Amino acid sequence: MKVVIIGPAYPLRGGLATYDERLARAFIEAGDEARIVTFSLQYPDFLFPGQTQLSTEPGPTDLQIEVSLNSVNPLSWWRVGRKLRSERPDLVIFRFWLPFMGPALGTVARLVRGNGHTRVVAITDNVIPHEKRPGDGPLTRFFLSACDGFVTMSRRVLEDLNKMGFGRKPALYRSHPLYDNFGPIKPKAEALAALGLPDTMGYLLFFGFIRAYKGLDVMLEAFADERLATLPIKLIIAGEFYEDAAPYEALIRQHQLESRIIRATDFIPNEKVVDYFCAADLVVQPYKNATQSGVSQIAYHFERPMLVTDVGGLAELIPDGVVGYVVPPTAPAIADAVVDFYTARREETFAAGIREQKKQFSWPVMVAALKEVAGLG
């Protein structure tokens, strides 16, 4: 089967690119012919909140990646769409996470389907965005209406598809597969040494791009709890600010947390991900709203206990009391869980639960789901 994945990939960086590259490998491992079409321009600079959209790491040598789609240039949409229409792949998979991408991806999808052969499926990370803007609905519907089927990675997004009137199209929920491409698990002492951190402390990890909906402010409020102040623990903030850092720095000063915070607020390259996760006792995701999170799947891979808030689809993957905690998105609830984790010494118990739970998150399952909703399974 000939498969084309359209979405972020090298030379772009970030979780979406990592996912798409791993998905291409999963199709290849299944015996299919797979390549990726990615963006020559993903976002105009004035819309991009980070430092750079491009990776500084070497590109993958085992994948065919075509850099040709410009999100704001309709001529590139037509070129990509007409080329794929003539090539007649069996399956084109679009990665859809933001209404802004609706015009580009929807146009390409319509052109491709014009050949009467290619099936078009979307992995819909979100259909109702975390940060809403005028025009989101029409842009999203323009894209969704061009698809033959959908795979979601949270039940909440599956429900959102139904609410938007796309429930009659084939759609499946499948859990986000493991991010198993960051290398094997390291001993904690080795990871701490790589980060230059002493092994006399415990460490919580907040990982990933920092945006308002991810709740770092709530985590800082929780970390100010006087019970946590008596514990020998620090909070690692590992990820690039995608918004103004000043309000977070103000909270750190207000609660006198400076000596208890470790900042790694640049983009974390792939080769360093293993160190941050394996150094952590507990991975915290204090989100205010969410659908799913790749951070959970990195934590599962590295067998690190998790604390997530009971919002969106986060709790679907985190059995409370088995692999970590599911708590309300409030500072007191988060603080209570952290206190329990350290005072009851739950790290090894949760890690054992993770080793059992992680068996269900496989890439072949995702590949099979995509083929099934396309009618090619």
For 344-364, what is each residue's pLDDT tens digit? 999 999 999 999 999 888 999
Mean pLDDT calculated for residue range 142-154: 95
What stretches of the chain adopt beta strand conformation (E)?
Answer: 2-6, 33-41, 65-70, 91-96, 119-124, 149-152, 171-173, 202-207, 233-238, 261-264, 282-285, 306-309, 324-327
Dig out the tokens for 374 from the structure.
């396309």
pLDDT digits (tens, 9 = 90+) for 115-125: 999 999 999 98
Cβ(62)–Cβ(93) below 8 Å: no
Cβ(137)–Cβ(104) below 8 Å: no
- Average pLDDT over the chain reads 92
Residue-level pLDDT at 242: 80
Residue-level pLDDT at 147: 97
Q: With bands split at pLDDT 50, 70 and 90, how would you rate the model's confidence at 136?
A: confident
Residue-level pLDDT at 112: 98
Residue-level pLDDT at 275: 97
CA-wise closest residue to 76 among 20, 18, 3, 6: 6
| Sign of the four-CA dihedral 41, 109, 160, 366 | negative
CA distances from 369 to 143, 362, 375 (A): 20, 11, 10
Per DSSP, 241 falls in state B
Residue-level pLDDT at 308: 96
Residue-level pLDDT at 130: 62
Dig out the tokens for 108 from the structure.
């390409």
**Domains and their CATH numbers in the chain:** 2-177+362-373 (3.40.50.2000), 188-359 (3.40.50.2000)
Q: With bands split at pLDDT 50, 70 and 90, how would you rate the model's confidence at 216?
A: very high
Per DSSP, 26 falls in state H
Mean pLDDT calculated for residue range 53-78: 89
Please state, in angstroms and rounded to a whole number, the distance separating the CA atoms of residues 377 and 374.
7
Residue-level pLDDT at 292: 66
Q: 331-343 and 216-223 helices cross at what angle (nearest 10)?
A: 60
Please state, in angstroms and rounded to a whole number, the distance separating the CA atoms of residues 310 and 278.
24
pLDDT digits (tens, 9 = 90+) for 308-332: 999 877 888 899 999 999 999 999 9
pLDDT value at 51 more than 60: no
Q: Identify residue 196 by its one-letter amino acid code.
A: G
Whole-model pTM? 0.81
- What's the count of helices (H) and strands (E) in the chain, helices before strands? 14, 13
pLDDT digits (tens, 9 = 90+) for 154-200: 888 999 998 888 888 999 999 889 988 889 999 999 999 999 999 99
Residue-level pLDDT at 50: 55
Q: 294-302 and 347-357 helices cross at what angle (nearest 10)?
A: 110
Mean pLDDT calculated for residue range 10-39: 95
Cβ(181)–Cβ(18) below 8 Å: yes
